[in-house]
Amino acid sequence: MKNNSMWECAECGKIEYGHNPPQECEECWKLNSFVQVDEDEMDEKREADVVEEIRQDFKEEDDE
């Protein structure tokens, strides 16, 4: 995960990782809504994202 960039959906705040941002947000379906997260912001957002992932695991299986 270290080599990947972190992307945040400007619409709903969903976090994704990768060299490029997802074209479409799987949460709100907005196109090209992802913006790159600065490195100094990554740590706090990552912590929030972990909490969010745990919450989602209860709802549905992770398809990654």
**Per CB under 5 A, which region of 15-23, 24-32, 39-47, 56-64 contacts Zn ion?**
24-32
C-alpha radius of gyration, the chain, whole number: 12
User: Helix, strand, coil: what percent of the chain each, to 5?
Assistant: 35, 20, 45
28 binds Zn ion (CB under 5 A): yes
- What tokens were used for 44? 């706090």
14 binds Zn ion (CB under 5 A): yes
Residue 13's SS3 state is coil
11 binds Zn ion (CB under 5 A): yes
**Per CB under 5 A, which region of 9-17, 42-50, 55-63 contacts Zn ion?**
9-17
Count of residues engaged in binding Zn ion, rule: CB under 5 A: 7
